């Protein structure tokens, strides 16, 4: 199962992140998870939201450059070594992980958002290994 991730390209300057979040707020887009990475001049804001298509549309209307991409939101046990075991299975199948970020919202489970070079292959690997993936809607209801 894939989820849609919203990526926003923003200038690395005071107030710009707040402007992006204001647009999302004004359109009732709820942020479920985020990651912000920066370079000297620009930042990449990656978001899992309750409605990625609507979020992208609102941001575009307000002059922000953004894109939607397929990612996997993966549930793993919230214990030492769980992420390592998951990555070992993916590595053994020759798939490169481009980036990932996590969130922990339950005592028993943690979740990672993972972007791989071949999302369909990762989805198949996860399914074959009994790894649970969830949708943005499911995440919003946790």
Give the rounded percent of residues in the chain with a pLDDT score beyond 70.
Answer: 97
φ/ψ bin of 71: left (φ > 0), alpha (ψ from -120 to 50), beta (otherwise): beta
Q: Is the pLDDT of residue 107 over 70?
A: no
Domains 3-70 and 71-140 share a fold: yes
Class of domain 3-70: alpha beta
Phi, psi at 59, each rounded to 5°: -65, -40
The domain limits of the chain are 3-70, 71-140
Q: Where are the alpha helices (DSSP H) in 27-118?
A: 52-61, 82-92
* pLDDT at site 64: 96
What is the tens place of the pLDDT at every residue in 4-54? 999 999 998 889 999 999 999 999 999 989 999 888 888 999 999 999 999
Proportion of the chain in helix, strand, coil states, percent, rounded to 5: 35, 40, 30
pTM, entire model: 0.81
In CATH, the number for domain 71-140 is 3.30.2130.10
β-sheet bridge partners, residue 44: 9, 37
């Amino acid at each position: 199962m894939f989820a849609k991730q919203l990526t926003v390209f923003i200038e690395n300057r005071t107030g710009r992140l707040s402007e992006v979040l204001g647009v999302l707020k004004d359109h009732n887009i709820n942020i479920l998870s985020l990651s912000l990475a920066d370079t000297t001049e620009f930042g990449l804001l990656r978001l899992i939201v309750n409605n990625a298509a609507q979020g992208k549309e609102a941001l575009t209307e307000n002059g922000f450059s953004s894109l939607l991409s397929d990612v996997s939101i993966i549930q793993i046990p919230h214990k030492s070594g769980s992420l390592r075991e998951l990555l070992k299975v993916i590595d053994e199948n020759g798939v490169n992980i481009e980036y990932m970020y996590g969130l922990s919202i339950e005592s028993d489970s943690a979740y990672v958002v993972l972007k791989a070079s071949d999302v369909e292959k990762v989805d198949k690997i996860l399914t074959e290994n009994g790894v649970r993936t969830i949708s943005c809607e499911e995440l919003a209801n946790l």
